[in-house]
Amino acid sequence: MSKNEQNNKLLIIPLGGIGEIGKNMTIIQYGKEILLIDAGLMFPEEEMLGIDIVIPDITYLLENKDYIKGILITHGHEDHIGALPYILQQLNAPLYGTKLTLGLVEGKLKETKLNKKNISMNVVKPPASINLGSFTVDFIRVNHSIPDSVAFAIHTPVGIVCHTGDFKLDQTPVDGEKADLNKFAELGTKGVLALLSDSTNAEREGYTMSEKVVGHTIDDIFRSAKGRIIIATFASNIHRIQQIFDAAYKNDKKVAVVGRSMVNAVNIALDLGYLTIPKSLMMELDEICRLPKERIVIITTGSQGEPMSALTRMAMSEHKKVEIIPGDTVLISASAIPGNEKLISRTIDRLFKSGANVIYEPISGVHVSGHASQEELKLMINLVKPKFFIPVHGEYRHLVHHSRLAEEVGIPQENIFITENGRILEFTKDSCRFAGRVTAGKVLVDGLGVGDVGNIVLRDRRQLSQDGILIVVVAIDKETGEVVSGPDIISRGFVYVRESETLMEQAREKVKQSLKKCHEENISEWSTIKSQVREDLGKLLFEQTRRRPMILPIIMEV
Amino acid sequence: MSKNEQNNKLLIIPLGGIGEIGKNMTIIQYGKEILLIDAGLMFPEEEMLGIDIVIPDITYLLENKDYIKGILITHGHEDHIGALPYILQQLNAPLYGTKLTLGLVEGKLKETKLNKKNISMNVVKPPASINLGSFTVDFIRVNHSIPDSVAFAIHTPVGIVCHTGDFKLDQTPVDGEKADLNKFAELGTKGVLALLSDSTNAEREGYTMSEKVVGHTIDDIFRSAKGRIIIATFASNIHRIQQIFDAAYKNDKKVAVVGRSMVNAVNIALDLGYLTIPKSLMMELDEICRLPKERIVIITTGSQGEPMSALTRMAMSEHKKVEIIPGDTVLISASAIPGNEKLISRTIDRLFKSGANVIYEPISGVHVSGHASQEELKLMINLVKPKFFIPVHGEYRHLVHHSRLAEEVGIPQENIFITENGRILEFTKDSCRFAGRVTAGKVLVDGLGVGDVGNIVLRDRRQLSQDGILIVVVAIDKETGEVVSGPDIISRGFVYVRESETLMEQAREKVKQSLKKCHEENISEWSTIKSQVREDLGKLLFEQTRRRPMILPIIMEV
């Protein structure tokens, strides 16, 4: 696309978060001005063996580095801020977000040992607006499973673009900070060009319950439990943590906070004033253990059954200080992130085995979602009355369901756009169309390597993980071409060698034959010899075992 | 334990199915007589890389081969019959089951290429009783997600043991064959020593809905769908398949059956009279494709998103004959087996992307469970009125919940036994206690290898899967100990080598230094040299990449 053509057009280009849950990132571009909304990470899919996290491909941003006027952050969850330490290595732009959000970003930048430049961090307190080039951005309060979440209304020369971020509409939020429905209504009355709205819960009927409901459940549990109480939840769910402290106070219990990320989150929230806790309520773990059991509450990480988390280690009797004992009540105040179901079940089983009473979903009121259900999603569309509707933040099926909701409330089908990462949506004041693509995709982070693990490496890891590897080593005289030493066969992850001596002997024989055949046929190309060995040996092994290990022939010339 | 002591005691020894979903197998032993109930497989856990299936360890049965009077099969699901091809290699005993169950067993034995002896297969039609040594076994009809499922009441010299198998209580079963509640009541009145009952759904409140409900949903969908209909369900759910055919007949559509296991199941069920289908209703896939779209129904496998299944291949446009097109309605009439959630979501997303309308859980009435919910479980206990209660078939948390239900309906806590695989429960007419253990565990099947993949191999596969492998090859002169060739470094699954030449060069240098150091210090023990290389190189790689690949030094003497 030529840049001139688009000078008076508005472009919306998602680089992540479409057709997937995570690595949210959206570009709003007008001419030579770009706003970036969020920079999140995603956790790896099961088949991405050994990968730690996944971030968006930002090639397009790097090509247009100088256009970036600012990075707007909706809230402090990893799938919205987790890519910042990586992308801020490569480009410089001021950050705009609420106080807690930027507090969490700061913690994150400190934590990662990646070098960082001086980054301009600008706290905005909603309701407020900022000017960035031709854009004016309204910060609009919404509710979510972390405090201080916002939506954005971006006033552009072409029209208003409203991006909800992740949201729900909590009529009785714990901190009293309700979603600013009046602002959305006002925008709707004025006229909104496009609404980008959170699709995560588009499959879920009705309304998402208020966070307050969980507070009541926790209070009930605190009142009736006889022994210690251990609660696992998401570290960033500050409202949940506040409610746990409130229930502890009301029921004359003390609270210890355990687990690195939980301690970090609580400290940041305390520092910035997002948690209100009487000093004496919170105790160190060592201290609290001296209290009578019925006065002890422990807040911890591990609600997803993560193998190294505090709760999992407690369940496995591997935690240094806390062991689960009969009489303990364990509350898992969270829902399973898809893919974690089995890990969580295992943790629950182990906790039960240790004699704890375990309370978890689907028991009502143990957890509520942070995302809007169908009725709220429809309400949002009805308030904002956008000309064009773009469902974002969701797997493809969520986007489809959200589109159907939009149609139901009267958005014409042709004004609804299910887009893709990297696809350009081009707007004029009264039109919207797909207009090409930019580079987009997944960048895999493995240890310190960003993007150095690609398909070939993953394919190898997959093969290695299934049937292991056989290494065939042979030394050949460089003059005569005759075998000087070997063939030796070494295997890892294939069979337990001590019990498979016959098979290994057969394998060595087979390799000898292959080499002999090559020698007789005057084949001296190493790659040909190697293929022959791989083929012959592979066939033997498959016949004998129905397995296909990786076979790596190594020929040394001496 | 001495065998004499136990001569007039009754033993119940589970070898599988306790604290896990799958590989169900229970021993009922009186003196030198053993009955085996079920012989199932389990699908591997995520960390069992490359493993195909898991079966119970039958060491105890092999030690007591001659005692086995018979193998009783409750129903034809894999987790109840899937280990038969393996254990029947090692022991011989007559099989007893209903007609469909043994039909499926026969199909299974034929399919596996493992040789088999002449096995005595004895069809029993409930209500009926058989005598086996000192035991009399009543076959009692129950409902489940496969026809012809039974429970057993085993009359022993010590008392009656009742084993429900997998069950639900369907008041309106598709085939009209209701669970024989009167028989359970009669046993209860007579007096039952122990009840072993299915715990799979012990967490679920209320009643499990009748299979008929799904029939109504299917009928509704058939009536309103405009294009082709593709339905995925479990191949063994013959009642579901019958209802699909019924709905097709009613709505003037034709049906093709696709997918190997689905075709097999339908053929066996047709042969044995468990499906009633007018001849002209069923068509070959090639044939049916010539009909107008609104007359086409395709029943297929792939309800769990299995990568090689027909539905997944259709969704990926990789199926030879069927491609999903806009206008298709795809019904996934199944629930996710834990661990499969992500695969299923992916299939659903791809189907939506191809333009299909996809209908799936949690939409009401798309699927019902085959297992009893809490109210049915309590009803069963109340009918049977056992002296001792043993929850079976479930993860540990299911067993705990089931125990709580038993307590609720009045079984004293001290009469409820949550047992473990391999643990012996010893009964007299009025007592029950734990009395030692026998060998029990998981035998991993990988290709043709049964039990040859153990912890070491799995540990290696895990390490290989995470960070790959580096192989260091060096040839040393056997006289002088000097390096003749190498070190060469080959990696797989570690980094993309072309982009990491510097790192590989550093690695080679590091190895040279290690070898030099060893040479200077007169270290000639190969194992010591190898450790040194592993340590030095491992440190370098971790510093540079934060990865820990497997390092395999190979020294050749020439």
pLDDT digits (tens, 9 = 90+) for B126-144: 999 999 999 999 999 999 9
Tokens matching residue A74: 């909706």
pLDDT, tens digit, 9 for 90 and up, residues A356-392: 999 998 887 899 999 999 999 999 999 999 999 999 9
φ/ψ of residue A334, rounded to 5: -170, 165
The dihedral formed by the CA atoms of B285, B290, B296 and B300, expressed in degrees to the nearest 10: 20
Strand, helix or coil for residue A548: coil
CA B238 distance to own-chain centroid? 19
Domains and CATH numbers, chain B: 10-206+369-450 (3.60.15.10), 211-359 (3.40.50.10710), 468-557 (3.10.20.580)
| Cβ neighbours around A4 below 10 Å, total | 8
pLDDT, tens digit, 9 for 90 and up, residues B474-513: 888 878 778 888 788 999 999 876 677 888 899 999 999 9
> Residue B6 pLDDT more than 60?
no
- Average pLDDT of chain A is 93
**Given an 8 Å threshold on Cβ–Cβ distance, is A556 in contact with B485?**
yes
Q: How far apart are CA A9 and CA A232, in angstroms?
A: 48
Q: How far apart are CA A9 and CA B39, in angstroms?
A: 67
The dihedral formed by the CA atoms of A264, A269, A270 and A273, expressed in degrees to the nearest 10: 160
| Cβ neighbours around A547 below 10 Å, total | 20
Residue A1 pLDDT level (bands cut at 50, 70, 90) = very low
Residue B5 pLDDT level (bands cut at 50, 70, 90) = very low
| Cβ neighbours around A463 below 10 Å, total | 19
B191 touches chain A (CB under 8 A): no
Which residues are within 8 A (CB) of A457 and not within 5 positions of it... i.e. 6 or more apart? B468, B493, B494, B495, B496
User: B551 to chain A: nearest residue by CA?
Assistant: A492
Q: State residue A535's pLDDT score.
A: 94
Binding residues of B: 50, 52, 75, 77, 79-80, 144, 166, 235-237, 367-371, 393, 446
Residue A518 pLDDT level (bands cut at 50, 70, 90) = confident
Residue A432 pLDDT level (bands cut at 50, 70, 90) = very high
**Given an 8 Å threshold on Cβ–Cβ distance, is B338 in contact with A338?**
no
Q: How far apart are CA B509 and CA B496, in angstroms?
A: 19
- Give catalytic status of residue A198 as yes or no: yes
Q: State residue B114's pLDDT score.
A: 56
By the 8 A CB rule, do A495 and B453 touch?
Answer: yes
* Interface residue of A464, A539, A540 to substitute, partner B, most B CBs within 10 Å: A464
> Comparing B33 with A484, which gets the higher pLDDT?
B33
**Given an 8 Å threshold on Cβ–Cβ distance, is A50 in contact with B467?**
yes
The catalytically annotated residue of A38, A180, A198, A246 is: A198
pLDDT, tens digit, 9 for 90 and up, residues B433-473: 999 999 999 999 998 888 888 888 999 999 999 999 999 99
Chain A nearest C-alpha distance from B350 (Å): 8
Most trustworthy range by pLDDT among A414-428, A497-511, B481-495:
A414-428
Tokens matching residue B232: 């995925």
Q: How far apart are CA B294 and CA B285, in angstroms?
A: 15
Strand, helix or coil for residue A444: strand
Side-chain-side CA neighbours of B366 within 13 Å: the count stands at 18
Looking at chain A from residue 359 to 378, which residues have their Cβ under 8 Å from any Cβ of chain B?
362
Q: What percent of chain A has pLDDT over 70?
A: 97
Tokens matching residue B100: 């469909």
Tokens matching residue B12: 């119940």
Output the DSSP codes for A407-418.
HHTT--GGGB--
Is the CA virtual torsion B39, B44, B50, B56 positive or negative?
A: negative
> Residue A3 pLDDT more than 80?
no
Which residues are within 8 A (CB) of B4 and not within 5 positions of it... i.e. 6 or more apart? none
CA-to-CA dists, residue A554 to A471, B508, B556, angstroms = 7, 16, 11
> Comparing A519 with A326, which gets the higher pLDDT?
A326
By the 8 A CB rule, do B75 and B179 touch?
Answer: no
By the 8 A CB rule, do A93 and A70 touch?
Answer: yes
By the 8 A CB rule, do B57 and B441 touch?
Answer: yes
Strand, helix or coil for residue B342: helix
A349 touches chain B (CB under 8 A): yes
Looking at chain A from residue 250 to 309, which residues have their Cβ under 8 Å from any Cβ of chain B?
none
Which residues are within 8 A (CB) of A315 and not within 5 positions of it... i.e. 6 or more apart? A324, A347, A350, A351, A354
Average pLDDT over residues A494-499: 76
> Residue A4 pLDDT more than 70?
no
- Give catalytic status of residue A148 as yes or no: no
φ/ψ of residue A29, rounded to 5: -125, 135
Binding residues of B for substrate: 235-237, 367-371
Looking at chain B from residue 428 to 487, which residues have their Cβ under 8 Å from any Cβ of chain A?
446-449, 452-454, 456-458, 460-462, 464-469, 471, 473, 475, 484-486
CA-to-CA dists, residue A56 to A14, A27, A391, angstroms = 10, 12, 19
Residue type, B170: D
Residue type, A508: R
A136 touches chain B (CB under 8 A): no
| Cβ neighbours around A264 below 10 Å, total | 17
Q: Is B273 exposed, middle or buried (0-12, 13-18, 19+ CB in 10 A)?
A: exposed
List the one residue out of A44, A81, A17 whose CA is nearest residue A340.
Answer: A44
Residue A115 pLDDT level (bands cut at 50, 70, 90) = low
Residue type, B475: A
Looking at chain B from residue 305 to 344, which residues have their Cβ under 8 Å from any Cβ of chain A?
338-339, 341-342
Tokens matching residue A401: 């369901």
By the 8 A CB rule, do B140 and B126 touch?
Answer: yes
Q: How far apart are CA B164 and CA B394, in angstroms?
A: 13
List the one residue out of A406, A377, A405 whose CA is nearest residue A389.
Answer: A406
**Given an 8 Å threshold on Cβ–Cβ distance, is B50 in contact with A556?**
no
pLDDT, tens digit, 9 for 90 and up, residues B37-60: 999 999 998 889 999 999 999 999
pLDDT, tens digit, 9 for 90 and up, residues A297-324: 999 999 999 988 999 999 999 999 999 9
B46 touches chain A (CB under 8 A): yes
Cβ neighbours of B339 in A, within 8 Å: 341-342
Phi/psi region, residue A501 (left: phi>0; alpha: psi -120 to 50; beta: rest), is alpha
B540 touches chain A (CB under 8 A): no
> Residue B274 pLDDT more than 90?
yes
SS (H, E, C) B407-471: HHCCCCHHHECCCCCCEEEEEECCEEEEEEECCCCEEEEECCEECCCCHHHHHHHHHHHHHCEEE
CA-to-CA dists, residue A178 to A60, A149, A175, A355, angstroms = 36, 11, 8, 41
Average pLDDT over residues B158-181: 97
Residue A282 pLDDT level (bands cut at 50, 70, 90) = very high
Cβ neighbours of B452 in A, within 8 Å: 495-496, 499-500
- Average pLDDT of chain B is 93
Which residues are within 8 A (CB) of B522 and not within 5 positions of it... i.e. 6 or more apart? none
**Residue A158: its H or E element:** none
Cβ neighbours of B492 in A, within 8 Å: 460, 464, 469, 550, 552
CA-to-CA dists, residue B449 to A333, B62, B206, B445, B464, angstroms = 43, 19, 44, 6, 20
Tokens matching residue A356: 């704890």
β-bridge mates for residue B550, sequence order? B469
Instruction: Report ipTM for this prediction.
Output: 0.88
Residue type, A91: L
Average pLDDT over residues B538-554: 93
> Residue B155 pLDDT more than 70?
yes
Binding residues of A for substrate: 235-237, 367-371
φ/ψ of residue A114, rounded to 5: -60, 135
| Cβ neighbours around B420 below 10 Å, total | 14
| Cβ neighbours around A305 below 10 Å, total | 22
CB pairs under 8 A between A and B: 193
Nearest residue, CB atoms, B464 vs list A469, A473, A495: A469
The catalytically annotated residue of A155, A163, A239, A371 is: A371
Average pLDDT over residues A500-517: 89
**Given an 8 Å threshold on Cβ–Cβ distance, is A554 in contact with B46?**
no
**Residue B366: its H or E element:** none
Nearest residue, CB atoms, B397 vs list A348, A457, A484: A348
**Given an 8 Å threshold on Cβ–Cβ distance, is B469 in contact with A447?**
no
Tokens matching residue B63: 């030690």
Q: Is A61 exposed, middle or buried (0-12, 13-18, 19+ CB in 10 A)?
A: buried
Average pLDDT over residues B347-368: 93
Query: Would strands A423-428 and A431-437 be described as parallel, antiparallel, or unpaired?
Result: antiparallel
Average pLDDT over residues B320-348: 93
Q: How far apart are CA B482 and CA B154, in angstroms?
A: 75
**Given an 8 Å threshold on Cβ–Cβ distance, is A460 in contact with B492?**
yes
By the 8 A CB rule, do A57 and A443 touch?
Answer: yes
**Given an 8 Å threshold on Cβ–Cβ distance, is A493 in contact with B358?**
no
> Residue B3 pLDDT more than 70?
no
pLDDT, tens digit, 9 for 90 and up, residues B70-115: 999 999 999 999 999 999 989 999 999 999 999 999 988 987 765 5
Q: What is the DSSP letter of A551?
A: E
Side-chain-side CA neighbours of A45 within 13 Å: the count stands at 14
By the 8 A CB rule, do A393 and A199 touch?
Answer: yes
